[in-house]
Structure 1
Amino acid sequence: MRRMPRSFAAFLLSASLTVSLQGQQMNPFTTLMQKADAHAAAHHAVKPALSPNDATILNGAVPVAELQRSGIKVVPWTTNDPEKIRAMIRVGADQGYAIDGLISDRPDILQRVLAEERAVSPANAARLKNFNVSGHRGGRGLRPENTLPAFEAGLDSLIDTIETDTGVTTDHVSLIWHDQFLNPQSCRRADGQPYTLENRVYIRDISMPDAQATFICDKLHFGADQKNDLALSPVAVAFAAKEKLMSPYVPTYAEQLFRFADFYAEYYKTGPGKTHPEAKARAAAAARVHFNLETKVLPDRLPPAVAGAQDVNVPKEMFDNHTVSPQVFVDTLCGAIARHHLESRADVQSFDFRTLILVEEQFPKIPTYYLTDNPKILASEFVPAALRQ
């Protein structure tokens, strides 16, 4: 029997593989990060990372090992239950890999479980050596979220990264808050006047000085372990006095957070906290802590996959976009990072990938984190066409 020419055989093999691949739908997380990586590389930007919902890690939807082989870090959000934290830490244990870190409202619990898992064996200790512990909104399970005391609680837990959220005020400052407005669930007016959803104040409609002169965000609403006793936050109290804030619980902003981390380190290195049993560890952790800063910008149109999941009890207008443009977000937040020369310690994360594209193009030294939830959204108009499956 006459042999088929090698070149023709190779052609047939290539064609059959192409047909096979076309018949399969690529993993949406792989597609997203391949395209994001290509975009970042084209602009000489830092390799992007993926920050998926923890459920998509546990159900195997995110191909962690595959992404890591291409240099993509995977840092999921937001896990608080001790046994679920343990399950997340054990992902990949049988194959010798691990997720790169985890975001938690309870960094104290995360640190405890991580220490237990590292102690299981030398191999486990090696696998988890560089595991990144990130405090969600500082440490929302311990103090009212996104406040100086919450960031202090996270630093007390020796976190590697402070995860937080930003909006943009009228004077173009990166105010730290999760919602588009200062939420009355967390915030009250300092003058005692009623503050409700009906008279809510959007971040884009207030200046930073006015926000700090008007609101105190110390309300408790996240479990029994969340406390607002100022005796638990001595560094925040001292820093607030230094910055002439009316309360440690006034809304803060990115550049103030950067100063706070430095202040915290000095507080335990040379200041009143230097005799604390963990002073050395706390000072060292704060001196190198990273900042994972989310841009809380909504796209102009929410896709059905998102809009359909909206709580029917929440007024529709609360889902409308009351934020500034992605470009203004990038100019404001990345400008603050650059002014403090923190490109190596600050990341920008977002569900709005338009923002991340701009960061990669205009501030290539600042790493980007692609936040994801439902993988179906990755094929929707929610994702810019250049990154869509």
Structure 2
Amino acid sequence: MSTAQKDSLNIQVQGHRGERGNLPENSIPAFLGALRKGVDVLELDVVISKDQQVVVSHEPVMLPLYMLTPEGDSIATEDAEKYNLYTMDYAKIKQFDGGSKGNVRFPQQQKMKTYKPLLSEVFETVAATIKAESLKPVKFNIEIKSVPEEYDVFQPQPEAFVALVMQVIQKHTMEAQVNVQSFDPAILEVMHKNYPDIELAYLVGENSYAENKTNLTFQPEIYSPYFKLLDATEVAQIRKDGLKVIPWTVNEPEDIEQVIALEVDAIITDYPERVLEQLK
């Protein structure tokens, strides 16, 4: 694809969990890092604490892969579920360190002491930084991490979960600046019914668009598949129904190039600088 063709494409860049390739995932430093690089959207995940706070975290437990206890100790793999965030108040959750250990899957990730922030803190800190540094505004792609077998164990029921997340979004008047995504059709059904004005994305990790779309009773605005599920035919099918196509998580230069060639609407990546570079 020529430079002129790339310029004519309006592909948004979404920083996955901030910029997980470079800074601790789902942390304030990672969101600000991605923001300063010029992403269009900050992608993040939310779970719920015992005291009903909306916590930015990909897992509802303290994942041994990158989390340390407040004392700075590693967590044994078999002990992860003892640290169920849904059974812990946020004041306790915040004491755990999500950055000093690093992440072996992302060797260039900078090690630093950090914590799981609240969604409200992310909104407030990003807004303050945009204002202070005259940066371009960003949107937020918020994933509600939900698994049916974990209802009432690691998370609330869908109705309650959605209501808690929407309280924070509405309190910060962010309705127009967010979309909500989930792998769990039940979450999307509740969102669609109770908050019809919020843009929704259906996340999928397997099967074709034709199969997956039958899991919902309505058509969301965005279809968000694992990038390897896409080819030109699949993109054409999704486009025919009028949905945006936003694949995840595209990190390697050759994969980024292939996905750009499919003319998707946005690319979710752990390395925003790589996608921004290729789009230039």
- TM-score (norm. length: structure 1): 0.51
Aligned in 2, Cα 1:358/1:173: closer, same or farther, shift over 3 Å? same
Q: Does 1:225 align with 2:99?
A: no
Q: Using CA pairs under 8 Å that are at least 6 residues apart, name the structure with larger relative contact order, 1 or 2.
A: 2
* Residue 14 of structure 2 corresponds to residue 134 of structure 1: yes
Measured in 2, the distance between the counterparts of 1:345 and 1:298 equals: 26
2:135 counterpart SS class: helix
Deviations 1:334-358 (A, max 9, x none): 1110111010001110000111111
Q: Once the 2 structures are TM-superposed, how far is the Cα of residue 376 of structure 1 from its aligned partner?
A: 5.9
Q: How does 1:351-362 map to 2 (within 5 A)?
A: 351-362=183-194
The residue correspondences of 1:298-377 to structure 2 (distance < 5 A) are: 298-300=147-149, 322-375=154-207
Pairs within 5 Å for 1:143-292 = 143-200=23-80, 201-212=83-94, 214-218=95-99, 219-221=101-103, 222-229=105-112, 249-268=114-133, 283-285=134-136, 288-292=137-141
Offset of 1:172 from its aligned partner?
Answer: 1.3
SS of alignment partner, residue 209 of structure 1: helix
What is the CA distance between 1:296 and its match in structure 2? 0.5
Q: Following the alignment from structure 1 to structure 2, what is the Cα–Cα distance between the partners of residues 211 and 183?
A: 12
Deviation at 1:321, TM superposition (A): 6.0
Distance 1:376 1:131 in 2: 23
Q: Provide closer, same or farther for how the CA distance between residues 332 and 136 of structure 1 changes in structure 2, counting only shifts above 3 A.
A: same
CA distance in 2, matches of 1:198, 1:207: 22
Q: How big is each residue's C-alpha offset from its partner over 1:292-321, in whole Å with a ceiling of 9 and x where there is no partner?
A: 0001110239xxxxxxxxxxxxxxxxxx96
* Residues 299 and 376 of structure 1, relative CA distance in 2, 3 Å threshold: farther
Matches within 5 A, 1:90-109: none
The residue number in structure 2 matching 1:125 is: 7
Change (3 A) 1:228 1:267: farther
Q: Helix, strand or coil for the counterpart of 1:364?
A: coil
Aligned residues: 213
124 and 362 in structure 1: CA distance in 2 versus 1, 3 angstrom threshold: same
| Distance in 1 (alpha carbons) for counterparts of 2:149 and 2:208 | 19
Distance in 2 of aligned mates of 1:365 and 1:383: 21
Identity of aligned residues (%): 24
Q: Secondary structure at the match of 1:189?
A: coil
Q: Kindly tell me: are residues 197 and 387 of structure 1, through their superposed partners in 2, closer, same or farther at Cα, counting changes over 3 Å? A: farther
1:122-157 Cα deviation digits (max 9, x unpaired): x4422x1x3211000000001111111111221121
Contact map agreement 2:36 2:135 (CA 8 A) in 1: no
Residue by residue over 1:215-263, the C-alpha shift from the partner in whole angstroms, topping out at 9 and shown as x without a partner, is: 010121133321125xxxxxxxxxxxxxxxxx6x111121110011012
5+ residue gaps in structure 1?
1-89, 91-116, 230-246, 269-282, 302-319
Amino acid at match of 2:130: A
Alpha-carbon distance in structure 2 between the residues aligned to 1:139 and 1:348: 19
Contact 1:293 1:347 in 2 (8 A): yes
Normalising by structure 2, we get a TM-score of 0.69
CA contact (8 A) 2:140 2:177 kept: yes
Contact 1:377 1:383 in 2 (8 A): no
Select the structure that is richer in helix: 1
What is the DSSP-based 3-state SS (H/G/I as helix, E as strand, rest coil) of the residue aligned with 2:126?
helix
CA contact (8 A) 1:168 1:329 kept: yes
2:148 and 2:96 map into 1 onto residues whose CA distance is 27
> Superposed, which structure 2 residues align to 1:51-66 within 5 Å?
none
Gaps of 5+ in 2: 220-280
- Residue aligned with 2:45, SS: strand
Could you tell me whether the CA contact under 8 Å between 1:138 and 1:164 is conserved in 2? yes
Distance 1:251 1:378, change over 3 A: farther
**Residue 149 of structure 2 aligns to a residue in which SS?**
coil
Give the SS at the match of 1:162: strand
- 8 Å contact 2:20–2:106 — kept in the other structure? no
Q: Which runs of 4+ in 1 moved over 6 A?
A: none
With over 3 angstroms needed to count, the CA separation of the structure-2 counterparts of 1:160 and 1:377, relative to structure 1, is: closer
Question: Conserved in 1, the CA contact under 8 Å of 2:34 and 2:42?
Answer: yes
